[in-house]
Chain A
């Protein structure tokens, strides 16, 4: 690909860019996700060193993407406060349809602080195993577990009011 082989680029891009894009969308929004994808693959084209001995190409690309995502998060200072509304006694998912749930869960993920959002995005949405997520996030596996646990608690808490707030999904 670094030799300017278009076929090799097409193959690699098709195989890896959707996952990178989805990761970026959930971490820093759709507006920035295109740029993150471009910066990630551009870095590879410009000679960023990928060492197969240190992990898969997918993990490497996630690492490059993460670097750009964190830069954008830092610049935008999009962190949400950690304090959450206390949940009520009912299950937040009881009264909403599947479509409404997807919308409200997606919105709730977007409001999580980045460290918890990342744990949810990688381990739940991308189904990345804890070891791979820990390597990418550069934290111990235990930290990934605790962040994921905390993220789920925050999601449940934030979804509680959605019983009355979510819009009805049409189509």
Chain B
């Protein structure tokens, strides 16, 4: 009986301790230190975002410049392929032509979803690039005159290239 009474009194006392402890909280200095950490994270994030934007802009400008140069060189630049790209939506292919082209080959990081829009950019790439995609550079012997091949690169609005196809000159 006594132990039961003791138990009840202890429970009562523990509730009283809990009630008094309810007013306890960490010192304001802790919150200030954590807030400083939050602000530091926000700053790092802003810098990262700015760098990513700059990098994307550089890629886009470089791609646009390459495209312009390719178009401006009649001997190198050929008319765009007939088949529109099947990767991504909203890409605007160069003008149609009767050139033969490989299917679009996804690039290693092309798992990044393609947002609306994008561009098809025609570039000259080293013929050895064919090998890295598992395509034998069989055209090299026939072409003979160039160490480069034409490639259509599908570039998303974020500046990331998603897929490439090689065009047979």
The range of chain B's interface size is 35 or more
Asked if B16 is an interface residue, CB under 8 A from chain A, the answer is yes
Known: A91-B6, A125-B14. A3 touches B26 (CB 8 A): no
Q: Scoring A residues 8 to 25 as 1 if CB is less than 8 Å from chain B, else 0, what string do you get?
A: 010001000110011001
A134 on interface, CB distance cutoff 8 Å: no
Cβ–Cβ < 8 Å partners of A2 in chain B: 41
Secondary structure class of chain A's binding surface, majority of residues: helix
A171 at the interface (CB under 8 A from B): no
Taking a contact as CB atoms under 8 Å apart, the answer to whether A45 and B34 are in contact is: yes
Determine if A5 is an interface residue (Cβ-Cβ < 8 Å): yes
Contact between B11 and A1, CB atoms less than 8 A apart? no
Query: Quick one: which of A18, A37, A156 contacts B10, CB cutoff 8 A?
Result: A156
A102 to B13, CA, bound (A): 6
Which residues, 27 to 75 on B, are CB-close (under 8 Å) to A?
27, 29-31, 33-35, 37-45
Hey, which bits of chain A sit against chain B, CB under 8 A? 1-6, 9, 13, 17-18, 21-22, 25-26, 33-34, 37-38, 41-42, 45, 89, 91-93, 98, 101-102, 105-106, 109, 120, 124-127, 152, 155-156, 159
User: Contact between B9 and A124 (Cβ–Cβ < 8 Å)?
Assistant: no
Whether B39 and A4, one on each chain, are in contact in the complex, defined by CB atoms closer than 8 angstroms, is yes
Q: Is B17 an interface residue (CB 8 A)?
A: yes
